[in-house]
Amino acid sequence: MNELAGKHIVLGLSGGIACYKAAELCRSLIKAGATVQVVMTEAAGQFITPVTMQALSGRQVFASQWDDRSAAGVDNNMPHINLSREADAIVVAPASADFMAKLLHGRADDLLSLMCLARPVDKVPLILAPAMNREMWAHPATQRNVVQLRADGATVLDVGIGEQACGETGDGRMLEPEELLYELVRFFTPKVLAGQHVLVSAGPTFEAIDPVRGITNLSSGKMGFAIARAAHEAGANVTLVAGPVSLPTPRGVGRINVKTALNMQKTLNVLSQNATVFISAAAVSDWRPAEAALQKIKKDGSGQVPVLHFVENPDILAGVARSPRASNRTLFCVGFAAESEDLLANAQAKRVRKGVPLLVGNIGPDTFGQDENALLLVDEQGTTELPRADKLVLARQLVGEIARRLRPGVPAPAAAAEAAQAPAGS
């Protein structure tokens, strides 16, 4: 997914064992469509060779301010100026304790710190991924430096927690390459949901028949999880209420696991009181066994089959949509409809029945468990088609569509606007 297409990243490495992760990060950035220019300190060269970084980035690596090679096509022997001028960001990963202390003081005795100091601060953001031993990270000097670097405009990312190369355990590990990639994609995402509290429900529910059996459905939760991620990328504070699925929680998203429709309802009713957007992507069981047997129902050899009685589950979305905050639009509710036929008519009818301003239709068998989907958005104004694509791509488009409805006057994202010209229904 070319999430960083067109972006030029200067990847700076300072000295630390986490330099091995920078190799993978470089690969991931390139896979995501970015171009990468590596700049290393002398200390970084003790941990990983410029040859490795050159091979992965496909560009010559710079390590010295006295390097007289042409830098970014300019021959004035000033790599500290030329290398940053076309950059969309300088990302220092790993950023050692020593390197951050140096940056803080505006010292510039090697190419990387010189380049950071000489960058146009309003055009080229500086993103630091700290990496160090837990005592170094916890030291008041480092914590002071982090505060000041942030105040000076740098984005200092979190650190990971866990085993460290030195054998100790604690805070200070550099984030993993995929986490860093996520942070960069988020960094570049327009914050169209800044200030919003987004509540997302996802996955199936599970309704027990007895202690070892139950009824559920084929929802994988992928669409809801992708929406939670996209909303967080767009600057929202996100809580995900998930039915039983084994998906990893998107970075930065709060997650509450629930099992049954009644659990889900209780949780969503409480959380929706503080949310500004509720996206109901969960596939809630319509019915549950009237009573779950306390012990496993046994086959007794007589050929007799158990008879199950069902009761209807509450419609969680319709209930939230009737709440006073939803009625006065302090809470914007978005429903989903998984249909097997006649998507447009079913989605329109469901929007009215659920009492929500926006309903997202999709074809159930085409989406359950799949990585791709196609969406049909139905609101008071009409319909918008989001053509088949990866669920994360669709989730980002949907987030743009929701943001536009929260703040009328914001233009439609290009892809959705084009799709809006296409005939509705699918």
| Interacting residue ranges for ligand C5P, rule: CB under 6 A | 201, 261, 280, 282, 284, 286, 313, 315-317, 335-337, 350, 354
Query: What letter does residue 44 receive in the DSSP assignment?
Result: G
Closer residue to ligand C5P (CB): 132 or 338: 338
> Are the CB atoms for 128 and 118 separated by under 8 Å?
no
Residue with tokens 């596939």: 283
Q: Which residues have C-beta within 8 Å of that of residue 356, sequence separation ≥ 6?
A: 317, 321, 333, 334, 335
Distance of CA 64 to the CA centre of its chain: 36
Q: Would you state the structure tokens that stand for residue 148, as one six-digit string?
A: 């000041």
Closer residue to ligand C5P (CB): 94 or 221: 221
Residue type, 307: V
Active-site residue numbers? 166
DSSP-derived secondary structure for 200-223 = EEESB--EEEETTEEE-----SHH
Closer residue to ligand C5P (CB): 99 or 278: 278
C-alpha 211/C-alpha 198 separation (Å) is 34
> Are the CB atoms for 274 and 197 separated by under 8 Å?
yes
Closer residue to ligand C5P (CB): 116 or 338: 338
Give me the least distance between CB of 359 and ligand C5P, in Å please. 8
Q: Indicate the length of the chain as a whole number.
A: 426
Closer residue to ligand C5P (CB): 177 or 361: 361
Query: What letter does residue 388 receive in the DSSP assignment?
Result: E
> What is the per-residue burial (b if ≥16 Cβ within 10 Å, else e) of 218-242?
ebbbbbbbbbbbbbbbbbbbbbbbb
Residues facing residue 389 across a β-bridge: 373
